Amino acid sequence: MTLNKLTEIKNSILANKKFKKIKNDDREIRLILKNVDVIDPYSIEEYIANDGYLAAYKALTEMNRESIIEEIKKSGLRGRSGGAFPTGIKWSFSLSVEADEKYIICNADEGIPGDFIDRILLEKDPHAIVEGLIIGAIANDANKGYFYIRKEYLAAHKTIEKAIFAARKLGFLGKNIFDQGYDFDIEIRIGAGSYVCGEETALMESIEGKRGTSRAKPPFPAVRGLFGKPTCVNNVKTLASVTKIILNGAESFNKYGTENSKGTNIFSISGKVKKPGFYELPLGISIRELIFGICQGPLAGKTITSVLVGGPAGGFVSEDKWNSPLDYDLFHINRTMLGAGGIVVIDETICIVDMCLMFLEFGLEESCGKCSPCRYGTKKQIAILKSIIEGKGKPEDLEELKNLSEHILSSSLCGLGMSTSFPLLSALMNYEELFIEHLNHKCRANVCKCGENND
């Protein structure tokens, strides 16, 4: 496959079709979402007509491992899974590791309820992710890649399978890709309904055909990962961003965003706002602008009481912090992680205390059970919180909940246990009065049965 061939496909499509620009809001900057709702996801030709596979071609012909990694470092891209680890630095670990086989994995397990951007990209621009995985493979010297897609995303299984098939047919995957003497191919693995399998070491166990329990780190996956070989795991959005950065250069990306959080981010907003949906915006936009500007504020006659950022691994952000920028430094102000960009807005009809219980139950159900702080600690938290919700709580319970949370947070084996307490801690920090009201048998939202005569 030469450049001429790509140009030929491009021209033949463009001769018959004009692609329009689509945005869900005028303020959007569509770098990563450029093709979404614009091209037919099943047509590799339409993807190529929009400069598709040019970045992978460029990576193989004009660049080398070092210069790809350098460009990604320069872009300031940080992992979009929520971990926010700088992608260029992660990739550079592989430079010093020797092995006969290396792997790269696209983490498409998108387990956080309320996050759905990975699904949008997988379904609507699958080739951008396949291309990102090819570039990642070249940079990490991997000859084999995996897509780990969650079971729930039925449509995405098909789009990715078709995309891999089409790319293989044109010689972008398989032996001697792009006729440049490099071998790389991809297999798909489907999850089976386990949140913790989104955690990279549990994910690798799962691909190996085992229970998805987390491994202790170190050794880090970059040294010993899938099947004991050096492995790089990246999120769907990260890989889609990589494609655009290599195609258009680091500056096209890092001219957006803030000092520590470069680029655009795709936010998914759901819950009690007039215009929920997904929007690509520069990192650093304020919560207020996003919720009241772009999403047009609360439903008629209602008041927004809190904004949940980062799902079960994030926290409740109270009104006094809605002017703070949404970026990876958000944690320092609010102990809330931006996460993967999922935001759930709530109003006075929702009880934050009951919602905390829902998150703890989620954490317990999804715990892999390997370490006891996560397995037993969460159980204990649930028991205490339940008694508060049922109107049987004692004032000292709140302190006990805080202590327990801090303990679980600091002693769990993996990120699941470390993060399960975040929503509760943030609620205790920002909305303690609600818990106290429950101790006094009152639930503002009228959700909990904590009245005095409930037995």
Partner 1 sequence: MENLKQKNFDLFTAYLEKYKKQKDALGLLLHKSMDLFSHIPQEIQLIISKELDVSMAHISGVISFYSYFSFEKWGKNVIDLCTGTSCYVCDSKNVVKKVKEYLKIDFEETTKDDNFTLLSAKCLGNCVSGVSMRINDDLHENVTKDNVIEILRKYEVKPYDS
Ligand X SMILES: Cc1cc2nc3c(=O)[nH]c(=O)nc-3n(C[C@H](O)[C@H](O)[C@H](O)COP(=O)(O)O)c2cc1C
**Contact status: 339 vs partner 1 (CB under 8 A):** no
**Contact status: 358 vs partner 1 (CB under 8 A):** yes
**Contact status: 263 vs partner 1 (CB under 8 A):** no
CA atoms within 13 A on the CB side of 220: 8
Supply the DSSP string of 304-356, one letter for each residue.
EEEEEESGGGSEEEPGGGTTSB-STTHHHHHS---TTSEEEEEETTS-HHHHH
d(CA 34, CA 252): 13
Nearer to ligand FES, 112 or 160 (CB): 112
Nearer to ligand FES, 76 or 82 (CB): 82
**Contact status: 171 vs ligand FES (CB under 6 A):** no
Where residue 132 falls (left for φ over 0; alpha for ψ -120 to 50; beta otherwise) is alpha
Of positions 209, 301, 452, 453, contacts partner 1 by CB under 8 A: 209
d(CA 447, CA 455): 17
d(CA 330, CA 298): 23
Q: Are strands 144-149 and 182-190 parallel, antiparallel or unpaired?
A: parallel
Query: Which of partner 1, ligand FES, ligand X, none sits in contact with 81, Cβ below 5 to 8 A by type?
Result: ligand X
**Contact status: 277 vs ligand FES (CB under 6 A):** no
**Contact status: 114 vs ligand FES (CB under 6 A):** yes
Residue 230: Cβ-neighbour burial (10 angstroms; 0-12, 13-18, 19+): buried
Of positions 86, 113, 174, 277, contacts ligand FES by CB under 6 A: 113
Nearer to ligand X, 229 or 321 (CB): 229
Shortest separation between residue 226's beta carbon and ligand FES, angstroms: 29
Of positions 263, 311, 373, 417, contacts partner 1 by CB under 8 A: 311
Q: Show Cβ contacts of residue 181 under 8 Å, excluding neighbours closer than 6 positions.
A: none
Contact residues: ligand X, CB under 6 A: 79-81, 83, 85, 90, 107, 109-111, 196, 198-200, 233-235, 238, 414-416
Subset of 349-368 contacting ligand FES (CB under 6 A): none
**Contact status: 308 vs partner 1 (CB under 8 A):** yes
Nearer to ligand FES, 53 or 116 (CB): 116
Instruction: Note if the bond before 219 is cis, omega within 30 degrees.
Output: yes
Query: Which of ligand FES, partner 1, ligand X, none sits in contact with 151, Cβ below 5 to 8 A by type?
Result: partner 1
Q: Are strands 342-347 and 304-309 parallel, antiparallel or unpaired?
A: antiparallel
Subset of 108-167 contacting partner 1 (CB under 8 A): 110-116, 118-119, 151-154
Q: State the residues that interact with ligand FES by CB under 6 A.
A: 113-114
